[in-house]
């Protein structure tokens, strides 16, 4: 059973001319868990992953697997499997030949080609030229490449892009099972909802900087809950809230009051003699917390 290594980013920075794509990023990714690496498009996710894999040279800082830089790994494909966003295939080569080339380069047994193609569900298309592949099939082939060395660490850039619903369901289960085997799984996405069901930890970056890291549940408390309240006589309700000194905004389903306690709002309405037909607490979704983090940049 392959053992996952800890991925560690230490003060990693990348500048392209005047633009700073990634700024002083430090975080660790633990084995045995699926870690979501999240941020809007252009946040620097791909650049960060490419620095981790030795494809892009950092301006400063380091990224390591169990303390070793990618290029210092003695058997890189055995240690780390990576699938990056770009479609990196020669269109005239078949899927089996594509994988065969890199199996040879890494000194892996040829039998791995058929095995990984079977794992990702491309066994029937092994001898088809990649030029005729759909986006979803290319994603699966990229994933097959990452699995060639049966690595303890998986680094996947936007693996869900272009997959059909069945494929999405499959990859979610796949990621969880890989982590359950003790592997380190780092998955990037620009949508939290895409990976929400399968990630244990989240690393969120925006504009090249870290804005949040921690278990998925840590996102829960990031935005204070609000109370939604409505009345057949909304003007009277608004007057009562104003008299009580509570700030509120008008929403489609009622007034949104910026307090966490529905009881207090109910009490105000009761003492003012205003009839209520809606009163409940609304908890912001994880996606809202995520969006607030990447847009506002104000973390807790």
Partner 1 sequence: MNLILRPVAAEFSKILTTRMWWILALVLFGYIALLAGGLAALFGGLDSGAISPDAMNTGGGSAGLSGLGSVPPLIYSFAASVGYVFPVLLGALATTGEFRHQTLTPTFLATPKRGRVLGAKTIALFVVGAALGVVGLAASVGIGALVLGGFGVDPLLADGETWALIGRTVLAMALWAVVGVGLGVLVPSQVASIVIVLAFTQFVEPLLRFAAAFTQVTADIGKFLPGAASDALVGASFYTLASPGGAMLESWQGGLVLLTYGLLATGFGYLTSWKRDVT
65 binding partner 1? (CB under 8 A): no
- The residue within the footprint of partner 1, chosen from 6, 8, 32, 102 (CB under 8 A), is 102
Query: In 3D, which of 276, 228, 267 has the Cα closest to residue 248?
Result: 228
128 binding partner 1? (CB under 8 A): no
- The residue within the footprint of partner 1, chosen from 1, 17, 41, 57 (CB under 8 A), is 57
50 binding partner 1? (CB under 8 A): yes
When the beta carbons of 21 and 237 are compared against partner 1, the nearer one is: 21
For residue 113, the minimal CB distance to partner 1 (Å) is 12
Conformation bin of residue 182: beta by default, left when phi > 0, alpha when psi is -120 to 50: left
For residue 257, the minimal CB distance to partner 1 (Å) is 48
> DSSP of the chain, one letter per residue?
------EEEEEEEEEETTEEEEEEEEEEE-TTSEEEEE--TTSSHHHHHHHHTTSS--SEEEEEETTB-GGG-SSHHHHEEEE-SS----TTSBHHHHHHHHHHHHT--THHHHHHHHHTT-GGGTTSBGGG--HHHHHHHHHHHHHTT--SEEEEESTTTT--HHHHHHHHHHHHHHHHTT-EEEEEES-HHHHTTT-SEEEEEETTEEEEEEEGGGGGGGS--EEEEE-SSHHHHHHHHHHTT--EEE-SSSEEES-S-HHHHHHHHHHHT---SEEEEEPPPHHHHHHHHHHH----
138 binding partner 1? (CB under 8 A): no
45 binding partner 1? (CB under 8 A): no
- The residue within the footprint of partner 1, chosen from 25, 63, 82, 153 (CB under 8 A), is 82
77 binding partner 1? (CB under 8 A): yes
55 binding partner 1? (CB under 8 A): yes
When the beta carbons of 149 and 254 are compared against partner 1, the nearer one is: 149
73 binding partner 1? (CB under 8 A): yes
170 binding partner 1? (CB under 8 A): no
- The residue within the footprint of partner 1, chosen from 68, 101, 114, 135 (CB under 8 A), is 101
When the beta carbons of 110 and 169 are compared against partner 1, the nearer one is: 110
Return the range that interacts with partner 1 (CB under 8 A); candidates 34-42, 101-109, 236-244, 268-276.
101-109
List residues binding partner 1 (CB under 8 A): 46-47, 50, 53-57, 70-71, 73, 76-77, 80, 82, 84, 86-94, 97-98, 100-102, 104-107, 145
């Amino acid at each position: 059973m392959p053992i996952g290594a800890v991925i560690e980013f230490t003060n990693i920075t990348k500048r392209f001319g005047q633009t700073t794509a990634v700024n002083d990023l430090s975080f660790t990714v633990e084995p045995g868990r699926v870690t979501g690496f999240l941020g809007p498009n252009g946040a620097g996710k791909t650049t960060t992953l490419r620095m981790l894999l030795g494809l892009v040279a950092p301006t400063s800082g380091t990224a390591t697997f169990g303390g070793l830089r990618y290029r210092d790994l003695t058997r890189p494909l055995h240690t780390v499997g990576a699938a990056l966003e770009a479609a990196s295939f020669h269109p005239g080569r078949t899927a089996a030949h594509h994988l065969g080339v890199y199996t040879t380069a890494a000194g892996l047994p040829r039998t791995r080609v058929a095995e990984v193609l079977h794992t990702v569900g491309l066994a029937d298309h092994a001898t088809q030229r990649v030029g005729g592949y759909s986006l979803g099939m290319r994603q699966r082939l990229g994933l097959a490449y990452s699995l060639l060395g049966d690595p303890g660490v998986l680094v996947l850039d936007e693996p869900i892009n272009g997959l059909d619903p069945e494929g999405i369901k499959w990859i979610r289960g796949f990621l969880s099972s890989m982590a359950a085997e003790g592997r380190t799984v780092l998955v990037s996405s620009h949508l939290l909802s895409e990976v929400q069901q399968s990630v244990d930890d989240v690393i969120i970056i925006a504009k090249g900087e870290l804005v949040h890291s921690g278990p998925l549940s840590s996102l829960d408390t990031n935005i204070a809950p609000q109370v939604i309240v409505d009345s057949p006589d909304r003007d009277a309700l608004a007057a009562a809230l104003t008299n009580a000194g509570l700030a509120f905004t008008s929403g489609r389903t009622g007034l949104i009051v910026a307090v966490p306690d529905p009881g207090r709002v109910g009490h105000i309405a009761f003492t003012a003699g205003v009839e209520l037909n809606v009163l409940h607490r609304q908890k912001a979704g994880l996606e809202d917390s995520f969006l607030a983090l990447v847009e506002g940049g104000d973390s807790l």
